[in-house]
Chain A
Amino acid sequence: MSEKVLEVKNLKMYYHTSKGAVRAIDDISFSLFKGETLGVVGESGCGKTSMGTSLLRMPTVPGKFEGGEILIQGKSIIPMAERDVRKDIRWQTISMVFQGAMNCLTPVYTVGRQMYETLYEHKPMSKKEAQPIIEEYLGHVGLPPEVAKRYPHELSGGMKQRVVIATALFLKPSIVILDEPTTALDVVVQAQIINLLKRLKQEFGLSFIFITHDLALESEVSDRICVMYAGKIVELCENAQVFGPQGPAHPYTEKLLLATPRLHKKVESLAFIPGAPPDLVNPPQGCRFAPRCHKVFDRCLVEEPPLREIEPGHMAACWRCF
């Protein structure tokens, strides 16, 4: 197997609220290999975005790391000084396209000016020096150089998303976290952006963490799929192990896949998962999915299943799978 660019070991990140600690990331471990796309899927509130921001070592306030390790190219980043993270890690080694970032471009500056700001923060240089770099990266994402002189409101959603992607690639990171990069876009534009991301990955030799709630989209972009539920990883496996004929192992993944409407297959009824995800201040004892699971049995309610290998390259956290 190729080299590990990122390794997460038993990571815990809790949000400390007045109601108690919300266990948004609760003991998760995985690795990201060079050149692969790891897809992270799950419902809202399962910890997908928290994981993204944690990997940049900037959990949203009031989030705090409660244990575990994040190793980026072998370096443990949690104990590092903030200055060093800024200098070497954030945006230089690992960057992120935030959810809805295209709507967070400031309306009062031109696109070029905003891109320059990012560049300047990390590598102080004059605007003149920056211009060819900005134009080069706009070219990489399929935009003409004039876009640098435009204001965000003059651009379409797809163009803004391209600008945000260019800005994430600027400092030549090796890992890019993409948090719902196409959710607000129309289906044609979504497909165009996905094609672009695939080309960029090849061209720059990137590794992606692709966060989305859309399993169908994951099937098209991700080499491996990581399914999260209530702050935990419940299944981690190859693309074909979820979307191939054999189908996923964990009942949660199974139901999510059945709930995904398919364009080319007419079905009488779609599956759904009754109930709602648990409160992460007081998660249920045993398996966190047990209250909503259709395959639940006694053991699930008392003992939490570990994430265990059930076949080569296929991990699942379910007593039914072992």
Chain B
Amino acid sequence: MSTTTVQENDVILRVEGLKKHFVPHLSLVESLGKPKKIIKAVDGITFDIRRGEIFALIGESGSGKTTTGKLIMKLIDATDGRMVLDGEDVTTLDKPKLEEYRKKVQMIFQDPYASMNPRFKVRKVLEEPLSIHRIGTGYKDREPLIREALESVKLTPIEEFIERYPHMLSGGQRQRLATARTLILKPKLLVADEPVSMIDLSTRAEILAMMKDVQQSMGLTYLYITHDLSTARYFADRIAVMYLGRIVEIGPSDEVIDNPLHPYTKALIAAVPEPETGKVSVIKDLPIFGEIPSPANIPPGCRFHTRCPYAKDSCKEQVPELVDVGGGHLHACLRAHEI
């Protein structure tokens, strides 16, 4: 099934040509005699998120994946492009509409230690979104919803947790609470920005499994933002790989990882350590040069050409667009067929 043939109502969120450019604030002295440097954090991305899927956005720091998450959460406004949620244009929203939107699209943040008010007990943490969105009146009214949310993330027995403060919870329990806090509004789309990167390996899988359970039982859609290819493969249905504000490859998880087409995806995969023996004295062959350039200074043509081992002169001039190779697998490389 290719993206172009997907039924309109299968798509929960459509992002078209989305851009976010930041203009740094410079003092008068700093700005004298220098060309204005625009940071192109997200520079024209297009993708669909299908209803009920887990869509992973992967990239290094500086690739624009978190900015994309913030754009979708509408924490920042786009410079250009369009976003359509459930057939409705949500690119610009007034305040009442924005409130409605936030009920449908919720976020789990990376740091479970910084994303909760330390003075709020668990029940207050969960009551806050309800009172913000004026759901129910008073705690008595809201308690069943709070209990239901705790139940769904398995923070049970409820009595044991509901009167605790965040510091009395482990990292994994906090991330469960953060998930409960988003679920309580019955959202359609959850943006999860590195939800497990700060959690110990021993419990990471537990949190991902819980998130997957909730997703299936409540028919949710996730945008999973991460730098970790291994968890993305395990967790997501489809993967989009970002590089310097653009999507360079997109497709079903297994396809992208077993049969990567873009040289950047290939390099990422080569760099991931696998728990196998016999590699201690091996110097890894990395098909990539140097480090990611600054988004304030994006190379012309294909923006990956400065690090690409396959780059030719044409790559320095021509900007590659996403090309569909069938099966919903797209790449943006001029030379993908030769390498």
Of residues 176 through 230 on chain B, the ones whose CB sits less than 8 Å from some CB of chain A are 200-206, 208-209, 227-230
Task: Answer whether residue A79 sits at the interface, using C-beta atoms and an 8 A cutoff.
Answer: no
| Minimum CB distance partner of A244 in chain B | B277
Interface contact tally, CB-CB below 8 A: 137
How far apart sit A84 and B254, CA to CA, in the bound complex (Å)?
57
- Whether B227 and A187, one on each chain, are in contact in the complex, defined by CB atoms closer than 8 angstroms, is yes
Taking beta carbons and an 8 Å cutoff, which residues of B are in contact with A? 60-61, 170, 172, 200-206, 208-209, 227-231, 233-234, 254, 257-258, 267-284, 286, 288, 291-292
How far apart sit A98 and B203, CA to CA, in the bound complex (Å)?
25
Can you pick out 20 interface pairs between chain A and chain B where the beta carbons lie within 8 Å of each other? A43-B202, A156-B292, A158-B291, A159-B291, A186-B61, A191-B273, A191-B286, A199-B283, A217-B273, A220-B284, A240-B277, A257-B275, A261-B205, A261-B228, A261-B231, A272-B202, A272-B204, A272-B205, A273-B202, A276-B170
How far apart sit A271 and B208, CA to CA, in the bound complex (Å)?
11
Task: Answer whether residue A219 sits at the interface, using C-beta atoms and an 8 A cutoff.
Answer: yes
How far apart sit A142 and B61, CA to CA, in the bound complex (Å)?
22
Task: Answer whether residue A49 sits at the interface, using C-beta atoms and an 8 A cutoff.
Answer: no
- Whether A195 and B284, one on each chain, are in contact in the complex, defined by CB atoms closer than 8 angstroms, is yes
Task: Answer whether residue A267 sits at the interface, using C-beta atoms and an 8 A cutoff.
Answer: yes
How far apart sit A199 and B283, CA to CA, in the bound complex (Å)?
8
| Minimum CB distance partner of B202 in chain A | A273
- If A190-B271, A194-B284, A220-B280 touch, whether A261 touches B200 (CB-CB below 8 Å) is no
| Minimum CB distance partner of A187 in chain B | B271
- If A188-B60, A220-B280 touch, whether A262 touches B274 (CB-CB below 8 Å) is yes
Q: How far is the CB of B271 from chain A (nearest CB, A)?
A: 4
Among A10-18, A208-216, A301-309, the stretch in contact with B: A208-216
- Whether B230 and A263, one on each chain, are in contact in the complex, defined by CB atoms closer than 8 angstroms, is yes
Neighbouring A residues of B205 by C-beta, 8 Å: 259, 261, 269-272
- Whether B204 and A223, one on each chain, are in contact in the complex, defined by CB atoms closer than 8 angstroms, is no
Q: How far is the CB of A71 from chain B (nearest CB, A)?
A: 25
Neighbouring A residues of B291 by C-beta, 8 Å: 156, 158-159, 188-189
Neighbouring A residues of B233 by C-beta, 8 Å: 261, 263, 266
- If A158-B291, A188-B288, A213-B201 touch, whether A263 touches B280 (CB-CB below 8 Å) is no
Q: How far is the CB of A139 from chain B (nearest CB, A)?
A: 17
Taking beta carbons and an 8 Å cutoff, which residues of A are in contact with B? 37, 43-44, 156-159, 186-192, 194-195, 198-199, 213-223, 239-240, 242-244, 255-257, 259-264, 266-267, 269-274, 276
| Minimum CB distance partner of A218 in chain B | B275
How far apart sit A217 and B230, CA to CA, in the bound complex (Å)?
13
- Whether B275 and A188, one on each chain, are in contact in the complex, defined by CB atoms closer than 8 angstroms, is no
How far apart sit A217 and B318, CA to CA, in the bound complex (Å)?
38
Neighbouring B residues of A214 by C-beta, 8 Å: 201, 273
- If A187-B60, A188-B60, A189-B291 touch, whether A256 touches B202 (CB-CB below 8 Å) is yes
Which of B267, B273, B276 has most A Cβ within 10 Å?
Answer: B273
Q: How far is the CB of A140 from chain B (nearest CB, A)?
A: 15
Q: How far is the CB of A67 from chain B (nearest CB, A)?
A: 29
- Whether B209 and A269, one on each chain, are in contact in the complex, defined by CB atoms closer than 8 angstroms, is yes
How far apart sit A186 and B267, CA to CA, in the bound complex (Å)?
12
- Whether B274 and A216, one on each chain, are in contact in the complex, defined by CB atoms closer than 8 angstroms, is yes
- If A187-B268, A188-B271, A261-B230 touch, whether A255 touches B277 (CB-CB below 8 Å) is no
- If A216-B273, A259-B201, A276-B170 touch, whether A240 touches B278 (CB-CB below 8 Å) is yes
Contact of B275 among A194, A260, A271 (CB under 8 A): A260
